[in-house]
């Protein structure tokens, strides 16, 4: 599938890869480094703009390496990029460690996965079909 992408990032390194992996790493596009204190969050620009086909979304997900080594993750994971969004793809990072984390220009901060989704026509009804579970949830079957 082809997806249109406008790259206004100042990164010399490729902003995206063509590898056949599910997630494409995205790089920070920064004029100067960002210092993220413990428990602070920040909106990080990528310099990328995409045009997804209707019925598709892009999901912004954490990188496992940053999460386990630095405690830095995507706060709203998975962030949703809608098919009709034409703004810059941005990433909400949060520092869950007890040390400062510096985000440098060009650093790979997250990964983006393109996914298909259903387009639903909601059908209002008075009653839903019964099931064995019924309204039980949130651990109602116990631990064992
Ligand atoms: O991590 C994210 C999440 C969202 N967006 C952009 C693309 C998305 O299509 C738009 C709206 O996102 P969302 O629906 O999550 O935001 P909202 O808080 O519901 O705001 P809105 O009222 O603008 O929909 O913001 C990003 O760039 N990065």
Q: Where are the domains of the chain?
A: 4-10+23-116
Superfamily of domain 4-10+23-116: Deoxyuridine triphosphatase (dUTPase) (2.70.40.10)
Residue ranges around ligand 1 (CB below 6 Å): 60, 76, 79-82, 85, 89-92
57-86 pLDDT tens trace: 999 999 999 999 999 999 999 999 999 999
79 CA closest ligand 1 atom index:
1
13: pLDDT confidence band, cut at 50, 70 and 90?
low
DSSP letter, residue 15: S
Question: What is the C-alpha R_g of the chain?
Answer: 19
- Ligand 1 centroid distance, CA of 74 (Å): 13
- How many other β-carbons are positioned within 10 Å of the β-carbon of residue 107? 18
Please tell me the predicted confidence (pLDDT) of residue 19: 62
């Amino acid at each position: 599938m082809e997806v249109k992408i406008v790259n206004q990032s100042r990164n010399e390194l490729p902003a995206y890869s063509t590898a056949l992996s599910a997630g494409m790493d995205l790089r920070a596009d920064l004029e100067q480094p960002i210092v993220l204190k413990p428990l602070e969050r920040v909106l990080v620009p990528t310099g990328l703009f995409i045009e997804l086909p209707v019925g598709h979304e892009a999901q912004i997900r954490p990188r496992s390496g940053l999460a386990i080594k630095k405690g830095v993750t995507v706060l709203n994971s998975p962030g949703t990029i809608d098919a009709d969004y034409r703004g810059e793809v941005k990433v909400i990072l949060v520092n869950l460690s007890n040390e400062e984390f510096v985000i440098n220009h060009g650093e790979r901060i997250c990964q983006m996965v393109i996914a298909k989704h259903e387009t639903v026509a909601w059908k209002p009804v008075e009653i839903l079909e019964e099931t064995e579970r019924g309204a039980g949830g949130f651990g109602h079957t116990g631990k064992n």
